[in-house]
Chains A and B, each alone.
Chain A
Amino acid sequence: SAVISQKPSRDICQRGTSLTIQCQVDSQVTMMFWYRQQPGQSLTLIATANQGSEATYESGFVIDKFPISRPNLTFSTLTVSNMSPEDSSIYLCSVAGSEEKLFFGSGTQLSVL
């Protein structure tokens, strides 16, 4: 499985500001995924990031709120824009392995005051 490094590991932000989360993979991967994990809820897919094309967003998530970059096959960023307390969550990047398996980074714990 790939080694996935994610940073920051945690942050406390003021409402109205933006935070960019970085995800670095130790091997080239075609697709990277961004998930949100809220307390008591299942992991929710935000978007799929392919290198060289626009990210594909899931229902309920929009590019203006969660812009994603994918400049190469080993790196991606997710920005949480114009944050509100409702954005407080764990954000996870992941990559696909064989046979539908997903491998995750260590996550970013975001608290918005």
Chain B
Amino acid sequence: QKEVEQDPGPLSVPEGAIVSLNCTYSNSAFQYFMWYRQYSRKGPELLMYTYSSGNKEDGRFTAQVDKSSKYISLFIRDSQPSDSATYLCAMSAGATNKLIFGTGTLLAVQP
């Protein structure tokens, strides 16, 4: 079993839709949770960061962490064609900077 599982998609939604992206994990020691956005032929860009449990909101993006279920989510409201990218979840237990990444979900927002 992989430490981090992520549905690879692809996920296709119409413009304006609410998008839900998810990852599950097995290591209960993970404390730091991140979402990266990666456009084609570009490096991953840090999008959201959460420490421990709870929600974090930044504009149209909301990150949720449920440590009891070992489940993290990224919600995108009012999705735009410019949101079309691969979204990678990543997490760490801390102190080592060794982030463990999901395989990424390819999202396409259709105009």
Determine the chain B residues whose CB is within 8 A of the CB of A76 once the complex forms: none
User: What's the minimum C-beta distance from B1 to chain A, rounded to whole angstroms?
Assistant: 14
Task: Categorize the interface residue count of chain B.
Answer: 20 to 34
- Give the number of A-B contacts (CB < 8 Å): 58
Q: B8–A43 contact, CB under 8 A?
A: no
Determine the chain B residues whose CB is within 8 A of the CB of A42 once the complex forms: 2, 4, 88, 100-104
> Which residues of A, 41-92, contact B by the 8 Å Cβ criterion?
41-43, 45, 48, 92
Chain B residue nearest to A105 in the complex (CB): B43
Determine the chain B residues whose CB is within 8 A of the CB of A102 once the complex forms: 46, 90, 97, 99
Tell me which of A6, A40, A106 contacts B103 (CB under 8 A).
A40
> Which residues of B, 41-85, contact A by the 8 Å Cβ criterion?
41-46, 49, 51
Determine the chain B residues whose CB is within 8 A of the CB of A105 once the complex forms: 43
Chain A residue nearest to B33 in the complex (CB): A100
User: What's the minimum C-beta distance from A102 to chain B, rounded to whole angstroms?
Assistant: 6
A14 beta carbon closer than 8 Å to chain B: no
User: What's the minimum C-beta distance from A99 to chain B, rounded to whole angstroms?
Assistant: 6
Tell me which of A96, A101, A107 contacts B41 (CB under 8 A).
A107
Determine the chain A residues whose CB is within 8 A of the CB of B8 once the complex forms: 40
Q: A31–B49 contact, CB under 8 A?
A: no
Q: List 17 A-B contacts (CB under 8 A).
A: A1-B46, A10-B41, A42-B2, A43-B101, A48-B97, A99-B32, A99-B49, A99-B51, A100-B94, A100-B97, A102-B46, A102-B97, A102-B99, A104-B36, A104-B44, A105-B43, A106-B41
Binding site for A on B (CB under 8 A): 2, 4, 8, 32, 34, 36, 41-46, 49, 51, 88, 90, 92, 94, 97-104
